[in-house]
């Protein structure tokens, strides 16, 4: 056998291994079929009875460009409670889905930098879903993400209209994000390997649809209040209602 033939043979082996690896990877990532005739709903609300703690107030006077559109001290969105209902809580299934695989949305989750604050302050995405950061301010910001289970990022958005997209491929606890130029600018990103999550709005409610029958742990997370969990058993075509209450022992 000539040297050229041996080299060609090795390349054929390499190509075959690569093709097999790609095929197995593609098979591994194929979404698990759901029986839509049996799926149900987990819904409910996140509450804080009584008087919640005050929201954090920031003074932007140290940054002239931020102080111009915000001449007074500004309340952040770290505590938004109205009529006992909690906004900006992430509610998600954290256990019980087994090894199911779910299709990843290609529509990006969008976080803006506007008025020297992140907007929205709390978001969630599936692992691998694009997360787009924008700068709508006429001054420079940066975006510094510190994931606990994957590589972080730190990039500048130096001009109004600048944008950049990141993908977080690893499901993990909520990721803190900040602007190093304006340290009061904080945001949070939850990343999950499934679509069963939601950030509560002003009514404090959440709805997780098309959940297969099973027994689950569902968690409500809030940046100031911590987390609460509930065990939920969902039968075929059932709707289960859960209430998470913060501020109570």
Is pLDDT of 43 > 50? yes
Report pLDDT digits (tens) over 70-92.
Answer: 667 788 999 999 999 999 999 99
**Mean pLDDT for the chain?**
89
| SS3 label, residue 48 | coil
Q: How far apart are CA 46 and CA 63, in angstroms?
A: 36
Question: For a pLDDT cut of 70, what percent of the chain falls above it?
Answer: 85
110-135 pLDDT, tens digit per residue, is 999 999 999 999 999 999 999 999 99
Integer CA distances (angstroms), 12 to 7, 15, 73, 154, 234, in order: 9, 5, 67, 41, 51
Write down the domain spans for the chain.
Answer: 1-30, 103-191
Cα 199 to Cα 81, 90, 123: the distances in Å are 14, 4, 7
CATH: 3.40.50.720, 3.90.550.10, 2.60.40.420, 3.40.630.10. Which one for 103-191?
A: 2.60.40.420
Q: Is the pLDDT of residue 241 over 60?
A: yes
pTM for the whole thing? 0.86
The answer to whether residues 174 and 189 touch, using CB atoms and an 8 Å cutoff, is: yes
130-181 confidence digits (pLDDT tens)? 999 999 999 999 999 999 999 999 999 999 999 999 999 999 989 999 999 9
Q: What is the pLDDT of residue 64?
A: 77
Q: Residue 25 — very low, low, confident or very high, per pLDDT cuts 50/70/90?
A: very low
Please give the pLDDT value at position 73: 74
pLDDT at 55 (0 to 100): 95
């Amino acid at each position: 056998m000539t040297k050229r033939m041996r080299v060609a043979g090795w390349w054929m082996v390499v190509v075959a291994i690569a093709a097999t690896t790609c095929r197995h990877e593609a098979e591994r990532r194929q979404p698990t079929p759901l029986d839509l005739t049996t799926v149900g709903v987990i819904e409910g609300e996140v509450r804080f009875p009584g008087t919640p703690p005050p929201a954090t107030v920031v003074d932007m006077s140290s940054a002239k460009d931020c102080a111009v559109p915000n001449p007074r001290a500004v309340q952040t969105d770290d505590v938004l409670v109205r009529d006992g209902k909690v906004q900006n809580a992430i509610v998600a299934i954290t256990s019980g889905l087994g090894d199911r695989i779910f299709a990843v949305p290609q529509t990006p989750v969008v976080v803006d930098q506007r008025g020297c604050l992140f907007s929205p302050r709390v978001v969630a995405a599936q692992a691998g879903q694009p997360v787009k950061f924008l700068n709508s301010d006429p001054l420079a910001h940066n975006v510094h993400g510190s994931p606990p289970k994957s590589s972080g990022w730190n990039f500048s958005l130096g001009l109004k209209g600048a944008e950049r997209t990141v993908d977080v491929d690893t499901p993990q606890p909520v990721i803190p994000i900040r602007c190093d130029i304006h340290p009061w600018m904080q945001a949070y990103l939850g990343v999950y390997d499934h679509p069963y999550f939601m950030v509560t709005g002003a009514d404090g409610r959440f709805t997780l649809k098309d959940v297969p029958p099973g027994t689950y742990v569902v968690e409500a997370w809030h940046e100031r209040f911590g987390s609460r969990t509930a065990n939920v058993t969902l039968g075929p075509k059932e709707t289960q209602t859960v209430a998470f209450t913060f501020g109570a022992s």
